[in-house]
Chains A and B, each alone.
Chain A
Amino acid sequence: MRMLPSRVLIATNRFGLGANSFDVLKAQSNPKKWLHDQISSTKIEPEIPSKLPSSDQILLESYLSRGIKDEDKKQDIRKIRRKQFYGALSARLKNQIKTEHPFAERLVMFWSNHFTVSRTRGIIGPAIPAYENEAIRPHIFGPFEDMLLSVVQHPCMLIYLDNISSIGPNSLQGKRRGKDLNENLAREILELHTIGAQGGYTQADVTNFAKIITGWTVARKRKNARRQKTPPGNFMFNNRVHEPGEQILLGQTFRQNGQAQGIEALKHISRHPSTAKFIATKLVRHFVNDNPPAQAVEKIERVFKSTNGNLAKVSHALIDLDEAWDDTGTKVKSPEELVISTLRALYDDGLTALPPRRFLFPALKTMGQDIFHAPSPAGWPDEAEKWISPESLKHRIEWVRAISQYSSLSSQPLDVFANTIAPFTTDDIQKLIKGAPSREDGLALIFASPAFQRR
């Protein structure tokens, strides 16, 4: 049997979204170059565009439908929205299967999970695929601060973490209505998106930062449309709820008025040394090891700092980490990674239609990862023990067996084996796969095997 060099499969499995014959063909002459070439200064458009409307349209419809009393009509709207949402998830999955720049798509997933918004807040649910395309996708190879600014100005994030109801106590509205801050978004930006809980900020920093971003909100539909400057469902800055005056954050005083204060503060936070360390640690955990080696973290941290968070440079540096190529199979795939990589391997001769939906999103939920429904703003975990339990492994095994019945007829186990995991397995496992009683079971055994469950 033909044996590919393991570096080809590290590039395609660990950095990409799962090897198949197409990837392997392109990556085999120079795996690193194949990855470096996927880093582009222009926005990576999905190859399968979703027909989903933009988030402002979806949110506007959601807000409008709140007033509807008629139960039947409400049900109809819910049905349409569900269809839209799952349509968008299917398009996203197809794109992840067919994409020719899987490293870039992996980074879209990484960053959209880093800046999680979740269906736990029902009203934003249908707009989350649009959020990913609008706030995350354009910035994966740009400056980190651009992504941060774009996320914090996105209606989904402002609603998800309650900034739309945070009111400066000394603002016009605060004084009139006796209303106060809601510090949820400010805290999670510091804790989860930038500095990190151990990065050195105080409760006063959280409170002051919350004051700084008061007024960052979403435009509602006004009765008098002519007076409406910002179209409904879009980000707007509302000076009437913005806390006036200067604020001290992380040792620096921000004297700006209005929205500029928040923009400057976010830029300051994204350049804070703890942010470089926090982001570097998370990236190295994703690409190298659940326990990120300190040396590798330092390398990425240095690039992040010296380039002011240039994510193209950071991504190049990740590819160049020796640690990522030394030790294979350290990472257990998340259920979503397992599903994508399995389907990429199964549809080696080209995907025409996805398998029945019950084997996709409901199955992902059963395996522990209901897409865009992370339980908390911390997003999905990135460590083996968070994903593998007796129950979840049982469901992974059930799933690979079920899904293998839907392979295209040309997928032959030994080809799939050679194109995905062959160099990382023992002879024993190869014998097991050869000894399978059917083509489908042979495929399922490949997908159940440790080398395939890992990357």
Chain B
Amino acid sequence: MISRREFTALSAFGAMTSFMAPLAFADAPTKKRLIFINLKGAMDGLHALAPYADSDYRKLRPTLGLGFPGTDKGVLDLDGSFGLHPALTAFQSLYRSKELLFVPAVSTQYRRRSHFEAQNMLEGGGASPYQQKTGWLNRAIQQMGASPNRIGLSLGPTLPLIMQGQADVRTWSDSRLPEAGEDFLNRVSGLYDNDPILHKAFKQAYETETDPDSMKNMRLGNGRLELSMTAALSILKEKNAPRIAVIESGGWDTHFAQERRLGKLFRELGNSLALIKSELGPVWQDTVVMIVSEFGRTAAENGSNGTDHGTGGLAIMAGGNIKGGKIRGTWPGLSASALFSERDLAPSNQLEGLFMSTLVHHIGLTENQVADHVFPSINNIKMMEDLYH
């Protein structure tokens, strides 16, 4: 029992129950969807999409190099010169139905080889590491209309930089802890008024749509992409679902035993992509899936059947509205003189150019909005044209 005096003290904190009421979700400003898959640790693009017919490739990768099509563990051929890792069958079929394209030799503005600086630039969208304090997708969401809150979705207990910023983002993570209960939350709501960080997080955590019942059995696992994707998709299938989702996947830093490890990861990645298409049904027509990584890996294999940090990587885009079935951008080749710093696939294509194209041609922002508000510190973005129908 609380005494009358104490009750008055409690009520002094104002709207004790109103914070529990879900916010009405304003109509989303677009029906278009973007699912951004961040492969953390630097995916070896040359092991996903291999220039298998190139003799330089064979020289650089005597052990790791993928075989010719039709041979044991050979590539899935795409066009007679490039082929996919055999675990990427899901990519091959979407490529054939012209719903998936590749941009190899792609990179942000970053030219050194630290994961953490590179990830910061990939997610912050700055011209140098740690220049931007918020994420470029959050800044893009803020440009999307009058009510930018809860257009973004992120999984896991913490928010990745790419989704940090002014726009509130819907979040979900699994928990086996018992719920705190309404009475307790009412009391807690009075605690955070003078602490901006905790106050904002608390408001967002509880002023929210309730998660669908299906989420109760969902687990995030240890960063396993298929589990996260299954969880994300059950939210993305809701009626007024978030429009822009970020999903992270780890384990791509393959300094050793690359073939065994990437085989598993590629299979998960392919399955996840297939899952998106089948689960979203007709919404697939309005969806683009963007798969990127902070940088590529060395063109040559290292001493432990792996590869070290490199520069030019690989971006993959898929969706119903993509002009797929193509390998886009400039291919610099793997000859000794073509390599960047005599070791990496050259960064011939600009990752920010793909981002800009997606925000303009898919999401519907203007070029000026993107240049001035999403990537204000990068002044030489060349938008890659003709990616969308």
Contacts and interface: CB of A to CB of B under 8 A. Distances in A.
B187 A431 contact: no
Contacts of A436: 187
A363 interface: yes
Interface string B57-69: 0000010000000
B256 A390 contact: no
B308 A184 contact: yes
A180 B303 contact: yes
B10 A435 contact: yes
A120 interface: yes
Contact of B250 (A375, A378, A390, A434): A375
B177 A187 contact: no
Contact of A444 (B2, B112, B177, B184): B184
Contacts of A437: 1-2, 183
Interface string A371-390: 00101101000001111111
B194 A426 contact: yes
B158 A203 contact: no
Interface residues of A, number: 66
B176 A362 contact: yes
A428 B1 CA distance: 19
Contact of B178 (A206, A373, A398): A398
A416 interface: no
Contact of A182 (B115, B194, B308): B308
A450 B309 contact: no
Contact of B173 (A120, A183, A363, A366): A366
B213 interface: no
**Size range of the interface on B?**
35 or more
Nearest to A398: B177
Contact of B255 (A184, A367, A390, A399): A184
Residue from the set B129, B302, B303, B306 with the largest chain A CB neighbour count within 10 Å: B303
A48 interface: no
A432 B10 contact: yes
A395 interface: yes
Nearest to B198: A450
A250 B11 CA distance: 64
A402 B171 contact: no
A197 B116 contact: yes
A197 B112 contact: yes
A160 B156 CA distance: 25
A366 B171 CA distance: 13
B2 A389 contact: no
11 contacts: A165-B306, A203-B113, A203-B341, A376-B253, A392-B158, A428-B13, A429-B191, A432-B13, A432-B191, A448-B191, A453-B198
Interface of A: 120, 162, 165-167, 169, 174, 178-184, 187, 191-192, 197, 203, 206, 332, 358-359, 362-363, 366-368, 370, 373, 375-376, 378, 384-395, 397-399, 401-402, 426, 428-429, 431-432, 434-437, 441, 444-445, 448-450, 453
Given A386-B158, A401-B178, A432-B10, 15 more contacts: A165-B306, A179-B304, A180-B301, A182-B304, A184-B308, A197-B112, A358-B176, A367-B157, A385-B197, A393-B205, A395-B157, A429-B191, A435-B10, A445-B187, A449-B191
10 shortest interchain CB distances as A-B pairs: A165-B304, A435-B6, A368-B157, A180-B303, A390-B205, A390-B204, A398-B177, A450-B195, A179-B303, A431-B9
